[in-house]
Amino acid sequence: MSTSRRVAIIGNAGFYVGPALSKLLAQRGCDLVVGNARGDLVAELEALGARVVVVDGVATMEEDGAAERLVGAALEHFGRLDAACAFTGQIVIGRFTSSSEADLDQVLDGCLRAPYRFLRAVVDPMVASGGGQVLLLTSAAGTKPTRGAPLYSAARAGANMLAQNVAAEVARYGVQVNALGTNFMDFPEFLRANRVTDEASRAKVESMVPMGRLGTMEECAAMCAAFLDGSSRFQTGQFLAYAGGA
């Protein structure tokens, strides 16, 4: 099928900001290629007017060929690719002095190799077509030393810099590459990593955020969409920490 609508890839529509972002982009006139989307989400996206192609088995970009399968689905079904977004990496905690090379391999695979694979897959067809928008979701932990997560912080810093370097290389082709680094999000994985189990432990974590609360997936989706919906085409090579001022 061909389409006059924008075509966007959401790497994993079943995780983190994926569901909220998919719905928002559908509302803004995008057809979608979504990884690992539930049937009820697909029905909701179609009800919003989007044509949807689901690619299963791409939970993370660490998997061989995952990013290429998403891109291939976009080109096969829609003949174009205008925007692409992926969240990569899992939170890995622990002191450096207690770490192992296995821990290092884990963070490098999820937080640096996976972004590399995603960028390699999506940038080439965008360069060939003369434009496109890429948003890599990383972590605000990559902006400064992070107590209790040194390997994770270091790998995230590498991904942030990778996105900025790629952006500089492909800007002349009309391709935008930006990174959004989240932290202090109201999401099960973050709550688990920070041992939030009750109101008291939640309050302790929230006290670390200048805005005094955790961010929502809907808020994060709104910020992401500004880098993907085609409405702003003059920003690239940017990293934005989305962490309530922390």
- For residue 179 the two structure tokens come to 């990174």
What is the reported pLDDT for 9?
98
What pLDDT is recorded for position 1? 61
pLDDT of residue 233: 94
**pLDDT given at position 2:** 60
Q: For residue 202, what pLDDT is reported?
A: 97
Low-confidence ranges of the chain (pLDDT < 50): none
- Give the model confidence (pLDDT) of 195-220 as tens digits: 999 999 999 999 999 999 999 999 99
Instruction: Report the pLDDT value the prediction gives residue 80, as an integer from 0 to 100.
Output: 94
Tokens (6 digits) for 94: 């622990």
**Domain covering 6-242 in this structure, CATH number:** 3.40.50.720
- Domain assignments of the chain as residue spans, ordered by start: 6-242
98-109 as b/e, with b when 16 or more CB fall inside 10 Å? eeeeebeebbbb
The whole-number pLDDT of residue 61 equals 85
How many residues in total does the chain contain? 246
Are 12 and 18 in contact by the 8 Å Cβ rule? The answer is yes
Residue-level pLDDT at 3: 65
> Does this model's pTM top 0.85?
yes
Q: What is the structure's pLDDT at 88?
A: 87
